[in-house]
Amino acid sequence: MNLEKTKKNSSLLLQWIFICFLTGVISGSASAFFLVALEWVTQIRENNSWIIWLLPIGGLIIGLGYHYWGKSVVKGNNLLLEEYENPQKIIPLKMAPLVLFGTLITHLFGGSAGREGTAVQMGGAIADQFTKLFQLDASERKTILILGISAGFASIFGTPLAGALFALEVVYFSKINFKSIFLSFLVAYIAYFTVELWHVNHTQYTIPFVPEISFITLFWIVLVSILFGLAAMLFSRSTHFWGHLFSKTISFPPLRPFVGGCFIALAVYFIGTTKYIGLGVPMIVDAFSNPNASYDFLLKILFTGFTLGAGFKGGEVTPLFFIGATLGSTLSLIVPLPIALLAGMGFVAVFSGATHTPIACTVMGMELFGIQSGIFIGLACSIAYFSSGSMGIYNAQIVKGAKYHLYQKLKRKNTDFL
């Protein structure tokens, strides 16, 4: 009897390892292709600035594509979270090519968006196809979705530990079993090494100097981290505001990115720079060594919230990196901490506040910048998480725990006062 049980468990373990291998390799390869294609379209746009005037046409193409072929997957990351919480239907595989080409069109013609959402959606759609192939039940499907999110995130940013933790933490207040934890790390590393095998490089960042912790530095850490949290709150509310405004004022969905594209193209023309569109990676890298203008992070919030709210495709995370790094860089003019440290803290802290994932963001910071900055990064992510409000970038995300109870208590006090 024990021998039969051991054989069954061994067979199940091998099955899940095989699923991780397939998910990691396919998702990692998709991310590698996406990263190369994204760099290609970005170079085309930067070398041909006139192409931004075609952004409304690009928006119309994206809008028509989702309207006629992608209504079932238009929710994007929120669909993954909804299916995790309440499994209904297998995510159609068409989510992957739709979001891939939609994001490339967005970046080619000058929208302001990221790449994490694209990679996560591709990973989730690819992974969920194994639900039917291996005849998995609802509980096992939850694990499959975690694997897809983990593989997509780890491969697109080159941070396997953070990718595994992000997939677990973003669904943290739903039921997670031990198996999902182990497999999330396994698939993250498989996806990460797959991108490495394709010889696709990720952007490198450094924090060359980290000061000692003292009461003075702690004071400044708390102060700037609260500001990072408020920036995350502003970004989340901005994205939701523009999305609600477009859906309320323009009834035909394909026209939303068309109209939005017109406004973005005009805005880029009048401000005379393209540094607030696309990923903005050069600006992020520069923020670690040169102070930014005080309005840089605000304009990125405006451009990205408007772009995504209008219906263009892409992620939110790289713009969050931009917002945090440039805000930290600006603060270096008045805060007596190294500019690279402030930019690095903002880089992950704003992300932490907007996604309610302080643990994953702390680990990501250490993976990107080195473990020596871990205390500063961890404090910044935790404080930004608590000071960013209860609204994040994902509508379908369940927000509970200490932060949830804190805001519920504050709401009750305000109600009692009134």
Q: What pLDDT sits at residue 416? A: 54
Exposed/middle/buried for 292, CB within 10 Å: 0-12, 13-18, 19+? buried
pLDDT of residue 244: 97
pLDDT number for residue 7: 76
Delimiting residues of CATH 1.10.3080.10 domain(s) in the chain: 2-197, 215-405
Q: How many CB atoms lie within 10 A of CB 211?
A: 12
- Confidence (pTM): 0.94
Asked whether the beta carbons of 224 and 382 are under 8 A apart, the reply is: no
Q: According to CATH, what is the number of the domain 215-405?
A: 1.10.3080.10
Quick one: what percent of the chain has pLDDT higher than 90? 86
C-alpha 416/C-alpha 163 separation (Å) is: 42
Closest to 364 in 3D by CA, of 177, 233, 173, 188: 188
Answer yes or no: are the C-beta atoms of 191 and 102 closer than 8 Å. Answer: no
**What digits encode the pLDDT tens for the residues 361-405?**
999 999 999 999 999 999 999 999 999 988 899 987 877 655 655
Q: In a 3-state reduction of DSSP, which class is residue 315?
A: coil
Tens-binned pLDDT, residue by residue, of the chain (418 aa): 577 777 777 888 999 999 999 999 999 999 999 999 999 999 999 999 999 999 999 999 999 999 999 999 999 999 999 999 888 899 999 999 999 999 999 999 999 999 999 999 999 999 999 999 999 998 899 999 999 999 999 999 999 999 999 999 998 756 667 788 999 999 999 999 999 999 999 999 999 999 999 999 999 999 999 999 999 999 999 999 999 999 999 999 999 999 999 999 999 999 999 999 999 999 999 999 999 999 999 999 999 999 999 999 999 999 999 999 999 999 999 999 999 999 999 999 999 999 999 999 999 999 999 999 999 999 999 999 999 988 899 987 877 655 655 555 555 555 554 4
- The dotted CATH code for 2-197 is 1.10.3080.10
Distance between CA 126 and CA 36 in Å, rounded? 19
Q: Could you report the per-residue pLDDT of 346-361, keeping only the tens digit for each?
A: 999 999 999 999 999 9
Note the pLDDT tens digit of each residue in 204-216: 999 999 999 999 9
User: Quick one: pLDDT at residue 415?
Assistant: 54
pLDDT of 390 reads 84
Residue 398: what pLDDT? Answer: 72
Sequence-separated (6 or more) residues with CB below 8 Å from residue 406: 386
